[in-house]
Amino acid sequence: MSSDEAVGAPVGVEVSGVGLASAVPDVVRLDVAVRCDAADVAAALADAGARAAALGDAARDHGIEPGDVQTSGGGVRPRHDREGVDVVGYTAHQGLRLAVRDPGRLGALVEAFTGVAGNALSVERIALEVSDPAPLRAQARQAAFEDALAKAQQYAALAGRTLGKVTALTDVVQGGAQPRYELMAARAGSAGALPVEPGENTVTATVVVRWDWT
């Protein structure tokens, strides 16, 4: 009996495994806003509201479902002169958040937004996502476990031992033992009004597994 076994220390092998799973994004999260200047609050709000409503109509005209269009914020603030003393007007803003479930429609959609909102339009954010990442997470976890198993089998062979049962398994993330996945940024294209090249979103899982010896 070894000294470790004599004192009841854990006997076996503990290794980490990393797994990846990728898929082409199937939804674009698009944040847009309008900003309108006017001499008074009422006029600024009315202009921003009308342009935001036109954005919503354009989105629905391009096949975006009503449930995928959401107001993301709004407000109004005064504009001051160069000295920052006198109020010279007001700027109202209103934002929309959309889920574009056919990424191929994005360029035409933004063109339509430009047509109805003009220079008041700003594109705040474009993010490409996989609408249901759960299957990717499952694939990444499986790959991570298989990676850990392959390492453990190699170490067992090197040590002249045989793997027994799993005695501990932990998902590893920075700051806690929870599942980990990372959505990698998609690549940008270079042609067309607003091209989108989807690339792939990648999920990463890391696991630590302990086996005992038989």
Among 81, 106, 129, residue at a domain's last position: 129
Residue 89 structural domain: 27-129
Beta partners for residue 100, in sequence order: 28
Residue written as token pair 């290794």: 15
Q: Using N-to-C axis directions, what is the helix angle for 106-117 and 41-61, rounded to 10°? A: 150
Residue 108 is predicted with a pLDDT of 92
Residue written as token pair 């006029």: 43
Residue 197 is predicted with a pLDDT of 73
- Say how far apart CA 196 and CA 103 lie, in whole Å: 7
DSSP per-residue codes, 26-83: -EEEEEEEEEEEESSHHHHHHHHHHHHHHHHHHHHHTT--GGGEEEEEEEEEEEE-TT
- The pTM (predicted TM-score) of the whole model is 0.70
Residue 115 is predicted with a pLDDT of 95
Looking at the structure, tell me whether residues 137 and 174 fall in a common domain. yes
pLDDT along the chain (214 residues), means of 10: 48 94 92 97 97 96 95 95 94 97 91 95 92 92 97 96 95 55 37 64 94 94
Q: What is the CATH number of the domain that holds 19?
A: 3.30.110.170
Among 76, 110, 129, residue at a domain's last position: 129
